[in-house]
Chains A and B, each alone.
Chain A
Protein backbone atom coordinates (compact mmCIF):
# COMPACT_ATOMS: atom_id res chain seq x y z
CA UNK A 1 0.00 0.00 0.00
CA UNK A 2 1.13 3.50 -0.78
CA UNK A 3 1.85 5.48 2.30
CA UNK A 4 2.09 9.23 2.48
CA UNK A 5 2.99 10.62 5.87
CA UNK A 6 3.03 14.18 7.13
CA UNK A 7 5.15 15.34 10.02
CA UNK A 8 2.36 16.69 12.21
CA UNK A 9 -1.42 16.32 12.45
CA UNK A 10 -1.83 19.57 14.36
CA UNK A 11 0.46 22.57 14.53
CA UNK A 12 0.10 25.95 16.24
CA UNK A 13 2.45 28.75 15.30
CA UNK A 14 2.67 32.48 15.83
CA UNK A 15 2.49 35.18 13.20
CA UNK A 16 5.87 35.79 11.63
CA UNK A 17 7.32 32.37 12.45
CA UNK A 18 8.95 30.25 9.78
CA UNK A 19 7.04 27.00 9.44
CA UNK A 20 8.12 23.73 7.86
CA UNK A 21 5.64 21.07 6.85
CA UNK A 22 7.18 17.77 5.85
CA UNK A 23 5.77 15.06 3.63
CA UNK A 24 7.25 11.66 2.89
CA UNK A 25 6.01 8.99 0.47
CA UNK A 26 7.27 5.45 0.26
CA UNK A 27 6.25 4.40 -3.25
CA UNK A 28 9.00 6.04 -5.28
CA UNK A 29 6.48 8.38 -6.89
CA UNK A 30 7.89 11.12 -9.07
CA UNK A 31 5.12 13.65 -8.52
CA UNK A 32 4.34 15.29 -5.21
CA UNK A 33 1.84 18.01 -4.40
CA UNK A 34 0.90 20.42 -1.64
CA UNK A 35 -2.69 21.57 -1.29
CA UNK A 36 -4.53 23.62 1.23
CA UNK A 37 -8.13 22.87 2.03
CA UNK A 38 -10.54 25.47 3.34
CA UNK A 39 -14.30 25.13 3.88
CA UNK A 40 -16.26 25.81 0.71
CA UNK A 41 -13.12 26.17 -1.39
CA UNK A 42 -12.12 22.57 -1.90
CA UNK A 43 -8.48 21.73 -2.41
CA UNK A 44 -6.28 24.39 -3.90
CA UNK A 45 -2.87 23.55 -5.30
CA UNK A 46 0.01 25.47 -3.76
CA UNK A 47 3.02 23.84 -5.41
CA UNK A 48 3.90 20.59 -7.03
CA UNK A 49 7.10 18.82 -7.98
CA UNK A 50 7.63 16.33 -10.77
CA UNK A 51 11.22 15.47 -9.95
CA UNK A 52 13.94 16.08 -7.39
CA UNK A 53 14.81 19.76 -7.23
CA UNK A 54 12.02 20.56 -9.71
CA UNK A 55 9.01 22.56 -8.68
CA UNK A 56 6.06 24.29 -10.29
CA UNK A 57 3.74 26.90 -8.86
CA UNK A 58 0.15 25.95 -8.36
CA UNK A 59 -2.77 28.32 -8.06
CA UNK A 60 -1.89 29.95 -4.73
CA UNK A 61 1.90 29.95 -4.25
CA UNK A 62 2.15 33.37 -2.60
CA UNK A 63 3.62 33.19 0.88
CA UNK A 64 4.89 29.65 0.38
CA UNK A 65 7.99 27.94 -0.91
CA UNK A 66 8.90 24.29 -1.32
CA UNK A 67 11.92 22.06 -1.27
CA UNK A 68 12.49 18.65 -2.79
CA UNK A 69 16.03 17.47 -2.16
CA UNK A 70 15.14 13.78 -2.15
CA UNK A 71 12.57 11.93 -4.21
CA UNK A 72 10.56 10.73 -1.25
CA UNK A 73 10.39 14.02 0.62
CA UNK A 74 8.59 17.25 -0.25
CA UNK A 75 8.61 20.15 2.18
CA UNK A 76 6.31 23.14 2.31
CA UNK A 77 7.75 26.27 3.88
CA UNK A 78 5.88 29.27 5.18
CA UNK A 79 8.57 31.93 5.29
CA UNK A 80 6.64 34.21 7.63
CA UNK A 81 3.38 32.68 8.80
CA UNK A 82 0.27 34.83 8.74
CA UNK A 83 -3.19 34.27 10.16
CA UNK A 84 -4.67 33.80 6.69
CA UNK A 85 -2.50 30.73 6.31
CA UNK A 86 -4.47 28.95 9.00
CA UNK A 87 -5.76 25.93 7.12
CA UNK A 88 -5.59 22.19 6.55
CA UNK A 89 -2.55 21.29 4.46
CA UNK A 90 -2.61 18.10 2.43
CA UNK A 91 0.30 16.45 0.72
CA UNK A 92 -0.19 14.00 -2.14
CA UNK A 93 1.91 11.90 -4.47
CA UNK A 94 1.31 10.22 -7.80
CA UNK A 95 3.21 8.44 -10.51
CA UNK A 96 3.37 9.71 -14.08
CA UNK A 97 2.11 7.17 -16.57
CA UNK A 98 2.96 6.74 -20.21
CA UNK A 99 4.58 9.68 -21.96
CA UNK A 100 4.70 11.63 -18.72
CA UNK A 101 0.94 11.63 -18.31
CA UNK A 102 -0.13 11.35 -14.74
CA UNK A 103 -1.95 8.22 -13.75
CA UNK A 104 -5.41 8.53 -12.35
CA UNK A 105 -4.65 8.35 -8.68
CA UNK A 106 -3.25 10.77 -6.19
CA UNK A 107 -2.45 9.38 -2.77
CA UNK A 108 -3.00 11.78 0.08
CA UNK A 109 -1.41 12.09 3.47
CA UNK A 110 -3.55 12.56 6.61
CA UNK A 111 -3.15 16.33 6.56
CA UNK A 112 -1.71 18.93 8.91
CA UNK A 113 -4.10 21.35 10.52
CA UNK A 114 -2.11 24.53 10.97
CA UNK A 115 -3.29 27.35 13.19
CA UNK A 116 -1.45 30.66 13.05
CA UNK A 117 -2.12 32.93 16.00
Chain B
Protein backbone atom coordinates (compact mmCIF):
# COMPACT_ATOMS: atom_id res chain seq x y z
CA UNK B 1 0.00 0.00 0.00
CA UNK B 2 0.87 3.64 0.13
CA UNK B 3 1.54 5.77 3.20
CA UNK B 4 2.92 9.25 3.75
CA UNK B 5 3.97 10.86 7.01
CA UNK B 6 4.33 14.56 7.61
CA UNK B 7 4.08 16.65 10.79
CA UNK B 8 0.60 17.85 11.60
CA UNK B 9 1.55 21.39 12.58
CA UNK B 10 4.54 23.71 12.47
CA UNK B 11 4.87 27.24 13.84
CA UNK B 12 7.50 29.78 12.78
CA UNK B 13 8.00 33.53 12.83
CA UNK B 14 7.93 35.92 9.93
CA UNK B 15 11.26 36.06 8.09
CA UNK B 16 12.40 32.67 9.35
CA UNK B 17 13.09 29.46 7.44
CA UNK B 18 10.98 26.37 7.96
CA UNK B 19 11.35 22.81 6.67
CA UNK B 20 8.41 20.44 6.33
CA UNK B 21 9.41 16.80 6.05
CA UNK B 22 7.64 13.99 4.28
CA UNK B 23 8.47 10.30 4.40
CA UNK B 24 6.65 7.85 2.21
CA UNK B 25 6.15 4.19 1.47
CA UNK B 26 4.83 3.28 -1.92
CA UNK B 27 4.86 0.43 -4.37
CA UNK B 28 6.22 2.07 -7.47
CA UNK B 29 7.37 5.66 -7.26
CA UNK B 30 7.43 8.30 -9.95
CA UNK B 31 7.67 11.59 -8.10
CA UNK B 32 6.93 13.71 -5.03
CA UNK B 33 4.79 16.82 -5.22
CA UNK B 34 3.96 19.59 -2.78
CA UNK B 35 0.71 21.51 -2.64
CA UNK B 36 -0.38 24.55 -0.65
CA UNK B 37 -3.90 25.03 0.58
CA UNK B 38 -5.20 28.12 2.34
CA UNK B 39 -8.25 27.78 4.57
CA UNK B 40 -11.34 27.52 2.41
CA UNK B 41 -9.31 27.31 -0.78
CA UNK B 42 -8.30 24.65 -3.25
CA UNK B 43 -4.87 23.01 -3.18
CA UNK B 44 -2.42 24.66 -5.53
CA UNK B 45 0.72 23.11 -6.92
CA UNK B 46 4.08 24.22 -5.54
CA UNK B 47 6.75 21.82 -6.73
CA UNK B 48 7.57 18.38 -8.04
CA UNK B 49 10.66 16.19 -7.71
CA UNK B 50 11.17 13.10 -9.80
CA UNK B 51 14.92 12.89 -9.28
CA UNK B 52 17.12 13.19 -6.20
CA UNK B 53 18.21 16.65 -5.25
CA UNK B 54 16.97 20.13 -4.61
CA UNK B 55 14.56 22.09 -6.80
CA UNK B 56 14.32 25.80 -6.12
CA UNK B 57 11.45 28.09 -7.05
CA UNK B 58 11.78 31.51 -5.53
CA UNK B 59 11.41 31.34 -1.75
CA UNK B 60 10.35 27.69 -1.90
CA UNK B 61 12.63 24.71 -2.43
CA UNK B 62 11.87 21.02 -2.46
CA UNK B 63 14.22 18.14 -1.89
CA UNK B 64 13.97 14.44 -2.66
CA UNK B 65 16.01 11.42 -1.65
CA UNK B 66 14.59 8.35 -3.36
CA UNK B 67 16.90 5.98 -1.52
CA UNK B 68 15.60 7.29 1.81
CA UNK B 69 11.98 7.63 0.65
CA UNK B 70 12.13 11.14 2.03
CA UNK B 71 11.55 14.65 0.90
CA UNK B 72 11.08 18.09 2.33
CA UNK B 73 9.70 21.48 1.46
CA UNK B 74 11.81 24.45 2.52
CA UNK B 75 10.20 27.84 2.86
CA UNK B 76 12.51 30.81 3.26
CA UNK B 77 11.85 34.40 4.28
CA UNK B 78 8.49 33.40 5.68
CA UNK B 79 5.59 35.78 5.17
CA UNK B 80 2.25 35.89 6.90
CA UNK B 81 0.57 34.80 3.67
CA UNK B 82 2.50 31.52 3.87
CA UNK B 83 0.20 30.44 6.71
CA UNK B 84 -1.57 27.50 5.12
CA UNK B 85 -1.62 23.72 4.99
CA UNK B 86 1.05 21.98 2.97
CA UNK B 87 0.55 18.52 1.51
CA UNK B 88 3.10 16.16 0.09
CA UNK B 89 1.85 13.75 -2.54
CA UNK B 90 3.51 10.80 -4.20
CA UNK B 91 2.80 9.60 -7.66
CA UNK B 92 3.07 5.86 -7.43
CA UNK B 93 1.39 2.53 -7.78
CA UNK B 94 -0.74 2.52 -10.89
CA UNK B 95 0.15 5.28 -13.27
CA UNK B 96 -1.42 8.67 -12.81
CA UNK B 97 -2.51 7.98 -9.23
CA UNK B 98 -1.54 10.41 -6.54
CA UNK B 99 -1.48 9.71 -2.81
CA UNK B 100 -1.58 12.63 -0.41
CA UNK B 101 -0.26 13.04 3.10
CA UNK B 102 -2.56 14.32 5.82
CA UNK B 103 -1.07 17.80 5.58
CA UNK B 104 1.06 20.12 7.72
CA UNK B 105 -0.55 23.27 9.04
CA UNK B 106 2.00 26.07 9.01
CA UNK B 107 1.36 28.98 11.34
CA UNK B 108 3.46 32.06 10.66
CA UNK B 109 3.56 34.51 13.56
CA UNK B 110 4.66 38.16 13.45
- Provide the residues of chain B in CB contact with A40, threshold 8 Å: 8, 102
**Residue of A44, A100, A106 ringed by the most chain B CB atoms within 10 A:** A106
**How many A residues have CB within 8 A of the partner chain?**
28
A90 to B89, CA, bound (A): 15
Q: Which of the 9-residue segments B12-20, B42-50, B75-83 touches chain A?
A: B42-50
- Provide the residues of chain B in CB contact with A31, threshold 8 Å: 96
Q: Is the CB of B42 within 8 A of A109?
A: yes
Q: Is the CB of B42 within 8 A of A42?
A: no
Whether a CB of chain A sits under 8 angstroms from the CB of B87 is yes
Whether a CB of chain B sits under 8 angstroms from the CB of A96 is yes
Q: Is the CB of B30 within 8 A of A102?
A: yes
Q: Is the CB of A90 within 8 A of B99?
A: no
A56 to B35, CA, bound (A): 23
What 9 new A-B contacts, CB under 8 Å, besides A48-B96, A94-B96? A35-B100, A43-B89, A50-B96, A56-B97, A59-B99, A90-B43, A100-B96, A106-B33, A106-B98
Q: What is B's interface to A at a CB cutoff of 8 Å?
A: 4, 8, 30-31, 33, 35, 41-45, 48, 50, 87, 89, 91, 94-103
Q: What is A's interface to B at a CB cutoff of 8 Å?
A: 31, 33, 35, 40-45, 48, 50, 56, 58-59, 90, 94, 96, 100-102, 104-111
25 CB contacts below 8 A, A to B, read: A33-B98, A35-B100, A42-B4, A42-B100, A42-B101, A42-B102, A42-B103, A43-B89, A43-B100, A45-B97, A45-B99, A48-B96, A56-B97, A90-B42, A96-B96, A100-B96, A101-B30, A101-B95, A102-B98, A104-B33, A104-B45, A106-B33, A106-B45, A108-B42, A111-B42
